[in-house]
Amino acid sequence: DTAVSQTPKYLVTQMGNDKSIKCEQNLGHDTMYWYKQDSKKFLKIMFSYNNKELIINETVPNRFSPKSPDKAHLNLHINSLELGDSAVYFCASSQVTDTQYFGPGTRLTVL
């Protein structure tokens, strides 16, 4: 009964490819997030959705496009992958502005 799950856990791909990471939460929360953790472990917010509506959109290349089919799912699609996109991507969810609960992360490696 995983609270916030992400697939895949590992993703290895070539430069220029397009890939997606999926996130699902079963906590009944209505707000979901994507964070990026770089090689130095620094965490930075990318996006946030509330009930399928985009709330937070940080300075992220437009090659990154979040999609929320319903309030329990928030997927991240990345076009034309670059070496600098290699990182660990974390999904999180919260009940509005309350505590955020994180998924296990997806380690993306771009070769």
Looking at beta carbons only, is 18 or 98 nearer to another protein?
A: 98
Q: Is residue 102 a contact residue for another protein (CB under 8 A)?
A: yes
As a whole number of angstroms, the distance between CA 26 and CA 85 comes to 28
Kindly list the distances between the CA atom of residue 13 and the CA atoms of 45, 46, 63, in Å, as whole numbers in the listed order: 23, 21, 16
List binders of another protein among 28-57 (CB under 8 A). Answer: 30-31, 33, 35, 40-45, 48-51, 53, 55-56
Contact 106, 89 (CB under 8 A): yes
The span of 19-27, 62-70, 74-82, 101-109 binding another protein (CB under 8 A) equals 101-109
Q: Is residue 98 a contact residue for another protein (CB under 8 A)?
A: yes
The tokens for 25 are 């939460």
